[in-house]
């Protein structure tokens, strides 16, 4: 029997450059993934998925841009690595913000407005319906949160609050404007881990096939 037949828990990185990452690592583990902190481009090697947590997107962009991590993230995500971006992480995965240029990873066809809920209390909690996750609403904690200002035709908006998109999915990417990791919500991390597992199994299958071809030669 080959090792490829038992791929194990998918390895899911949590960007740990800036912002809150411990709760995400816990959520990844609870969802069945094997979490790993990501600080450098090298840390991305061997990962099956990644979480981009909240924090401050400008700081994140500057720090990760200077170290080459931003380019490595673009390459990994552009190459199909599944990713979950929450709050500042959602901003990082957007193609643009309404507020002018800042370094982003990109990948999702959305334009986001930073600190969009400005006139409401800057942080608040709300029950948000996310039909794609089932009938139970999400206990959503918004902290200086962005919203989705525009979404391209390939984007599935998963949830809205106050008339604006606050969660979405496109291909290998899922984003939330709120912080699921702070309310014990696990379903977004489960989506990510499921995707990461599928990617890991596909890679293991391809490696096994290559091995068989080599052995057959
Ligand atoms: N306001 C932050 C930004 O614009 C995001 C806040 C958060 O991640 N909690 O980057």
| pLDDT score for 104 | 98
Looking at residue 60, its pLDDT comes to 93
Choosing from 19, 23, 24, 57 the residue with most ligand 1 atoms within 8 A of its CB, the one to mutate for a pocket test is 57
CA-to-CA distance for 43 and 139, rounded, in angstroms? 32
Q: Tell me: the pLDDT tens digits for 87-100?
A: 999 999 999 999 98
Task: Please state the atom number of ligand 1 nearest to the C-alpha of residue 55.
Answer: 8
Ligand 1 near 110 CB (within 6 A) = no
Contact 14 CB / ligand 1 (< 6 Å): no
Indicate whether residue 87 lines ligand 1 (CB < 6 A).
yes
Residue 2 in this model has a pLDDT that exceeds 50: no
Residue 204 near residue 10, CB atoms below 8 Å: no
pLDDT at 159: 98
The model's pLDDT over 47-76, given as tens digits with 9 standing for 90+, comes to: 999 999 999 999 999 999 999 999 999 999
How many residues are there in the chain? 217
Active-site residues, by number, are 87, 179, 181
Tokens of 87: 């709050």
Mean pLDDT of the chain: 93
pTM above 0.75, yes or no: yes
> What pLDDT band is residue 150 in, cutting at 50, 70 and 90?
very high
Domains of the chain: 9-216 (3.40.50.880)
Share of the chain above pLDDT 70, in %: 95
């Amino acid at each position: 029997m080959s090792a490829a037949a038992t791929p194990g828990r998918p390895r899911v990185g949590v960007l740990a450059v800036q912002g809150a990452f411990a709760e995400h690592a816990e959520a990844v583990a609870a969802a069945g993934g094997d979490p790993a902190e990501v600080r450098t481009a090298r840390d991305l090697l061997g990962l099956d998925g990644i979480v981009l947590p909240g924090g401050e997107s400008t700081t994140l962009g500057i720090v990760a841009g200077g170290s080459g991590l931003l380019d490595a993230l673009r390459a990994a995500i552009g190459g199909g690595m599944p990713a979950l971006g929450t709050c500042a992480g959602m901003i990082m995965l957007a193609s643009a913000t309404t507020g002018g240029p800042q370094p982003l990873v990109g990948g999702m066809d959305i334009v986001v407005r930073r600190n969009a809920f400005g006139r409401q209390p800057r942080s608040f909690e709300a029950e948000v319906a996310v039909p794609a996750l089932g009938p139970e609403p999400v206990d959503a904690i918004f902290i200086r949160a962005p919203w989705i200002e525009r979404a391209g035709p390939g984007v599935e908006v998963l949830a809205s609050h106050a008339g604006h998109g606050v969660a979405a999915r496109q291909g290998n990417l899922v984003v939330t404007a709120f912080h699921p990791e702070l309310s014990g919500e696990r379903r977004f991390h489960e989506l990510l881990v499921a995707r990461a597992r599928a990617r890991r199994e596909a890679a293991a299958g391809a490696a096994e096939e290559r091995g068989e071809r080599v052995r057959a030669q």
